[in-house]
Amino acid sequence: MPLNPQAAKMLEILAMMPPIDYSADGTKARAVMAAAAAAGPSPFGPGDEVAHIEDRTITGPGGPLGLRFYYPRANASNLPVTVYFHGGGFVLGCPKEHDNICRSLAKRADTLVISVDYRLAPEAKFPAPIDDGWAALCWVRDTAKTLGADASRIAVAGDSAGGNIAAVVAHRARDNGLTLCHQSLIYPVTDSALNTASYSEMGTGHFLTTEMMRWYWEQYLPHKSAGSDPMASPLRQKRLQHLPPATIVTAQYDPLRDEGEAYGLALIEAGVPVRMQRWPGQIHGFASMMGMIDAADDALTFVASALRESFDTTSQRAA
């Protein structure tokens, strides 16, 4: 399918953003992006209305760890929980920049969403974001009752680099006896190799580029060989059995398309239930582009429906 006209228009807007200086480290890129974001309102829709949003700070492995809470209903109790990890190549981003995704998932799946402000590279290299994600998940499990949440119904979710973190945290949860009921991976990063057909076909001109991903990995990994670690590249994990059911979203014009789908197929081969859908004509990041790309709404409804079903199934089994 040709590039969606809305996605094509979005590419024109994104082309006006300041380019990343690949000769500099991620701290400079972060400052440039923050200045650009502060220069005007976001072109994207705000997402669904939720009852309450609040920020908290817990003690993480590297110091204070920020969490943003999205409550779908007022005075709710025993809510299922979705621990969310934002995208940004392990270098950029924060919960605020993915607010619309978290709002929409909270409302549509009737779940408490907790978005993790994990440490970023290059200051905090692999596996620091994974360690932060695991710490946040354990804290949620241990304090669920005081949060108005149900510790037996916890899911992880994330987009792009956040999808990588969600996938790897799911591995760690399985290995440590923490049962998750679902994992939602939105155009996830699953391998550091950059050698798929979608990188060859879509690696330039479609927002996320091969050059950009190479730079992200260079910022994130302490050394290149660390990319072969399954905690960095979950597609290289040889033991995928007994992971939670997964929902995977990919986009046709995304260099990450093939590695996301390869991970989904590997999960299926390992006996993990998977719902996987490729959005035709779409680019990387489209799910956050509400108000500009209609497919964003469809993709988030797809993800939220699978989350809600997993939460309901877990409740029925416990009854």
Q: What does the pLDDT look like over 123-155, one tens digit per residue?
A: 999 999 999 999 999 999 999 999 999 999 999
- Return the pLDDT at 318: 73
pLDDT attached to residue 219 = 97
Q: What is the mean pLDDT of residues 195-221?
A: 98
251-267 residue pLDDT tens = 999 999 999 999 999 99
* 160 labelled catalytic: yes
The fold adopted by the segment(s) 5-38+54-318 is Rossmann fold (3.40.50)
> Residue 269: which pLDDT band, with cuts at 50, 70 and 90?
very high
Among 115, 160, 184, 288, the one annotated catalytic: 160
Which pLDDT value is given to residue 21?
86
Given a cut of 70, whether residue 6 has pLDDT beyond it is yes
pLDDT in the model for residue 272: 99
Q: Could you read off the pLDDT of 208-218 as tens digits, one per residue?
A: 999 999 999 99
Residue 51, pLDDT above cutoff 80: yes
More confident: 38 or 26:
26
What are the structural domain ranges in the chain? 5-38+54-318
Residue 12 has a pLDDT of 96
* pLDDT reported for residue 231: 99
**What pLDDT score was predicted for residue 315?**
76
How many C-beta neighbours within 10 Å does residue 260 have? 29
Give me the half-sphere count of Cα atoms (radius 13 Å) on the Cβ side of residue 305.
10
Position 317 scores a pLDDT of: 79
* Token duo for residue 245: 């059911």
Band the pLDDT of 172: cuts 50, 70, 90: very high
Q: Please, what is the angle between helix 128-143 and helix 161-175, to 10°?
A: 60
Number of residues written out for the chain: 319
Mean pLDDT of 171-197: 99
Structure confidence at residue 319 as a pLDDT band (50, 70, 90): low
Residue 35's pLDDT is: 79
pLDDT score for 278? 99
286: pLDDT strictly greater than 70: yes
User: Does 304 score more than 90 pLDDT?
Assistant: yes
* Contact of 103 with 49, CB cutoff 8 Å: yes
Rounded-to-integer distance, Cα 193 and Cα 187, Å: 16
Residues 6 or more apart whose CB falls under 8 angstroms from that of 264 comprise 246, 248, 274, 276
Longest dimension (CA), the chain: 57
Average pLDDT, the chain: 96
- Mean of pLDDT values over 264-279: 99
Task: Give the pLDDT confidence score for residue 122 in this predicted structure.
Answer: 97
Specify the pTM: 0.97
